[in-house]
Structure 1
Amino acid sequence: MHTVVVLAVPDAIVFDLATPIEVFGRARLPGGQPAYRVLVAGSEPEVAAGPVRLGVDDGLETVDRADTIVVPGRTNPELETPAEFVSALRKAFANGTRVASICVGTFTLAEAGLLDGLRATTHWRAASLLRRKYPTVEVDPDVLYIDNGQVLTSAGATAGIDLCLYLIRRDYGAAVAADAARLAVAPLHRSGGQAQFRMPSLSDGTATSLEHVFAWLEENAHRELTLADIAAAAHVSVRTLSRRFQQEAGCTPLEWLIGVRVRHAQELLESTDHPVERIAAQVGFPSSSNFRARFRAYTTVSPSAYRATFRSTSR
Structure 2
Amino acid sequence: MGISYGRSIARGVLAYARIERRWQVFVEELNVLDLQRGNLPDGVIVHGSKTNAVELLAHYHIPAVNVSGMQPLSDVPSVLPYDEKIGRLGAEHFLERGFRHFGFWGIFGHGYSTRRQQGFTAAIEEAGYPCAVWQGSSTVIEADRQADRAARIDWIRNAPRPIGIMACNDGRARSVYTSAMEAGLRVPDEVAILGVDNDELHCETAGLSLSSIDICLETIGFVAAEMLEARMNGEPAATRPTLVAPKAVVVRQSTDVLAVPDTEVAAALRFIRESATRGIGVDDVANATALSRRMLERRFRQVVGRTLHDEIRRVQLDKVCMLLNSTDMDLRRIALACGLRSASYLSAVFHSGMRITPSAYRRQFRAS
Q: Same fold (TM over 0.5)?
A: no
For the aligned pair, the TM-score class normalised by the smaller chain equals: 0.3 to 0.5
Q: TM-score by structure 2 length?
A: 0.37
Q: TM-score by structure 1 length?
A: 0.42
Specify the structure having the higher radius of gyration (Cα).
2
